Chains A and B, each alone.
Chain A
Amino acid sequence: MIVDILISACLVISGIFGLVGSIGLIKLPDPMMRLHAPTKATTLGVGGALVASMLYFEFVLGRFSFHELMITLFLFLTAPITGHFIAKTHLHLLHRPEDLPPTGSERPWASYESDEARAAIETPETAASEAAGKGE
């Protein structure tokens, strides 16, 4: 009985979170805001559905399965990466570097910094030797 309530609660909560994520994708006004809804709410929703499935297989059908845990782990690892990449795409397609807020340091936003400038700051010796090598 308690397990039934737990599984049902997981299913209902996951359904609500999944729906909220998809509605947020439609309704929110700005591209960066729209990025929030699917990467957070929908990932939590699918996690809830997979947890419900795991509980169901363990306690109702009486056989434990690892697959759900693997899928949940994979989704929770990959969701931030895809979110980061899509945010970078938004930055590069919709904004000019001078429109962005200041970073508070000498260096520009990391996404706009050229490879040579970054190498010169982070590893000065190798950058200098490379420059010398190019000069010869």
Chain B
Amino acid sequence: MTITHTVTPTAAQNKPVGAARRRVRPGRLGVHAFLMAVSLAFLAPLLLAVYASLRPYEETSRDGYFSLPKHLSFAYYKQAFSDSGMTKYFVNTLIIAVPGVVLVLFLAAFVAFAVSRLKLRGAMALLMLFTAGNLLPQQVIVTPLYVVFNRIPLPYGMSDSMTMFDSYWAVIVVQVGFQIGFCVFVLANFMRTLPQEILEAAIVDGAGVWTQYWRITLPLCRPALAALATLQFTWMYNDFLWALVFMSDGDKLPITSALNNLRGQFFTDYNLLAAGSVIVALPTLIVFLLLQRHFIAGLTLGSSKG
């Protein structure tokens, strides 16, 4: 295998890269076979869910999910939409996730800027406070928040339950408060990779802290912000613990909890549930496929040290 290091460059000069590589490394075929097998195994459960959602219940209950189809239709998708009131729950999710993402990025970006660029005393401690906060188990903070939210009165205009509990405010605040640590961590790591000279030039020109932050640093962080926005949206979209704990009115639940509405009390049509799952998963899958590059960058920015 070590020979390949010397062979590849010359071969690659006049041949298409793929062809040259394949000839030089026969072991690659094995690697492809392995990766292909693993990829298919990873995709299989998803494909099974899509397949099940297209078939009528009578058929799968007779032949099982692993059988050839006789009827295929989108009927379950229509039913999943009308039976569970998907649109309403989808709107609920957006009410939580959109302000959540905007707020968490706005708040985290300045902390990250202050921590990584301003050389304040205690900056490291501050960074630790936020990072560690994001790593605590959610269950530790649930009880006191549940109790406190039940005691915070809100005017009817803000919450029809008259308390912070059972309102979107509670879920948004907790989402933002919990996720801010992760965003600070990633953004601070990203900002550290920016050249310090730009800031110094601005300071010489008499720029204040706000200008250094808003006009100079933030525009350079656009890729990191885009990455975090997609990531955070997916996480807030997928979460169901907070809504489960801080909401009691079934009509306000986000879309991930709405899946349970498709379960009957005595009988559950799994094919209908499969259609519901596909619908619920679709937005995050689309966001992921469209913004893949950002998405992956967002997870990795924090890990690789510039």
Q: Do chains A and B stick together as partners?
A: no
Residues of chain B having any CB pair with chain A under 8 Å: none
